[in-house]
Amino acid sequence: MQIWSNTKTLDGFVPNLTFTSDKAAAVVALVGGKKIELNDFPRLRGNFKTGVGRDNVPEAEAAQRGIACGFPSPQTAEIIYEETANFACHLILQCAFAGAGDFAAWSKKDRRALASHRLLIVGGGDIGRPVAAKMAPFMQVDTFDVAINKSEELEAKVRAADCISLHVPLNASTRDLINREVLGWMRDGAALVNTARGAVVSEEALFEELQSGRLRAAFDVFWNEPYAGKLLGLPGDRFIRSPHVASTCREFLAATAADLLRFISGLDSANAGKA
């Protein structure tokens, strides 16, 4: 079975599968964070996503065409949620202690105790909830979720926060959720952490704020990946970045590879039933 892929996520974890660069020959598409056009795949019978985000998966169109869509199992998803939450905590702490001292000059900077910092978690889902629980022993944690809070509550929460961590899906209502106005609410010296989706933040507005030196940010997700945009010109301690690695521990990769193999096996079984 010919498999086309636009992701390196499972490289080395599925050595016995046959891959092709020819979209016209592909029977299965293995998809990461980029979108695909189903019209490019005339023989496609299955589309497997290596993560839990569905914003780049054309599920409705696939259903109309009789193309099966597969995702990591619930057990694998739990690994994704846990590890992404852990990585978000790492970025939050990295922002809190950024600029604490200058090694070359052997000088220490004035800073507040971590316990006095106020953290705002935006999005109370499968990742936002554990981030809030994990950080509560270290910082003062507040939350905002559209299912619980009124939209007008967001401004006061943003203005009070020393760090904001984003954990919302990307859809029409969350695209550019953190825009120029919301960034303007953030207090001087505050940090923005994003392990959700790049497009929930306005790239241009964020660049302007970081370039001014007023805010700090730590991103593991970007507007286009691999990211080569203007924010890379900013100092690394002002814009902390990582290449979308929050969930990619070996346990997640092995479990996702097993899910993919089961998905392909199911396609084979379905095909055999039609024969």
List the one residue out of 33, 71, 72 whose CA is nearest residue 245. Answer: 33
Tokens of 218: 């730590």
What's the rounded Cα separation, in Å, for the pair 201 and 124? 18
Whether the Cβ atoms of residue 135 and residue 119 lie closer than 8 Å to each other: yes
What's the rounded Cα separation, in Å, for the pair 55 and 62? 14
Q: Give the residue numbers annotated as catalytic, written as ranges.
A: 197, 225, 244
Can you spell out the DSSP letters for 186-213? SPTT-EEEE-S-GGGB-HHHHHHHHHHT
| Cα 243 versus chain centre, distance | 10
Can you spell out the DSSP letters for 136-183? TTTSEEEEE-TTTS-GGGHHHHHHH-SEEEE----STTTTT-B-HHHH
What's the rounded Cα separation, in Å, for the pair 220 and 224? 12
